[in-house]
Amino acid sequence: MTHHNFAITGVAGYIAPRHLKAIQETGNQLIAATDPHDAVGVLDRYTFDCRFFTEFERFDRHLEKLRRGPEESRVHY
């Protein structure tokens, strides 16, 4: 079974923990997240290998960089 890479916006929001749990339970990987509020504590419960950004522009630039890289590092969802 192949895993998919996810990126999420609004990771400090009310519903985000449910999304993070679903990503983890389905064997997928969260590789990037953004929120204007520091949500690192939320992310630590679900993954330790995730780039976190408080500025959307940096998040967007990171996703573009991943898109140009190898398939296994690209964001699928």
Q: What's the one-letter identity of residue 39?
A: A
Per the structure, the count of domains in the chain is 1
- Find the distance separating the first CA and the last CA of the chain, reported in whole Å: 17
Q: What's the rounded Cα separation, in Å, for the pair 6 and 35?
A: 15
Report the candidate in 52, 19, 48, 20 with the shortest Cα–Cα distance to residue 37: 52
- The pLDDT tens digits for 35-54 are 998 866 888 888 878 999 99
CATH number at residue 21: 3.40.50.720
- Taking 80 as the threshold, does the pLDDT of residue 31 lie above it? yes
Range of the domain at 64: 5-73
The pTM of the full predicted model, rounded to 2 decimals, is 0.89
pLDDT value at position 39? 62
